[in-house]
């Protein structure tokens, strides 16, 4: 059963559980950094107490990423879990109150329904590593000729580590046939 929005009145006091699944289109997940493969499966746990909801989302999904070192695409499985504290209803704004630590982690929602999609989107986006690696010991590309050192060898492999400027110079020299 696909649940995109939780209606507050449909939640019983205490524990509520739902299972859902979404594709990239339903989540509006478009990024040049990753691609959602297949569907994202979601377990939703909502604990309701009055107009407060403690929402725990457990998402499992597979992303296609690009390795920051060798630029190859690779697939990675994720199992992420996050809890959000939600307060339904308009809160009168008061600056000193909004500085309280617990409120920083509280989401205020003015309507009587909780849209879980923005939370799921956030979980996925935050799970993408800054520098994804196809494997921890990815050997990357040769800075001179671009050979993929994971499955290719080239004449530059055994040279002492080149800095980028040196590599550019070598590349220029080889272009000029020097």
Is the Cα torsion angle 28, 26, 131, 106 positive or negative in sign? positive
76 forms part of the interface with Zn ion (CB under 5 A): no
CA distance 132 to 110: 37
- Residue 65 binding Zn ion, by CB under 5 A: no
Query: Does 69 interact with Zn ion (rule: CB under 5 A)?
Result: yes
Among 11, 128, 154, 162, binds Zn ion (CB under 5 A): 154
CA 30/CA 24 separation, integer angstroms: 7
Q: Which range touches Zn ion (CB under 5 A), out of 33-41, 78-86, 117-125, 149-157?
A: 149-157
- R_g over Cα of the chain: 24
SS3 116: coil
Q: Is 55 in the site for Zn ion (CB under 5 A)?
A: no
C-beta closer to Zn ion: residue 3 or 76: 76
| Interacting residue ranges for Zn ion, rule: CB under 5 A | 67, 69-70, 134, 138, 142, 144-145, 147, 154, 156
């Amino acid at each position: 059963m696909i649940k995109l929005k939780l209606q507050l009145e449909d939640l019983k006091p205490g524990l509520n559980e739902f299972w859902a699944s979404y594709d990239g289109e339903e989540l509006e997940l478009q990024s040049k950094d990753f691609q959602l493969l297949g569907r994202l499966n979601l377990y939703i746990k909502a604990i309701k107490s009055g107009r407060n909801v403690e929402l725990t989302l457990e998402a499992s999904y597979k992303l296609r990423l690009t390795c920051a070192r060798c630029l190859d695409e690779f697939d990675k499985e994720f199992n992420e879990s996050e809890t959000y504290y939600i307060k339904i209803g308009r809160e009168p704004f008061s600056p000193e109150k909004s500085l309280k630590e617990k409120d920083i982690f509280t989401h205020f929602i003015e309507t009587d329904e909780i849209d879980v999609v923005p939370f799921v989107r956030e979980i996925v986006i935050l799970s993408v590593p800054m520098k994804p690696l196809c494997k921890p010991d990815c050997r990357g590309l040769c800075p001179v000729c671009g050979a993929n050192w994971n499955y290719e060898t080239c004449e530059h492999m055994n040279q002492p580590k080149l800095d980028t400027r040196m590599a550019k110079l070598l590349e220029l020299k080889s272009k000029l046939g020097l």
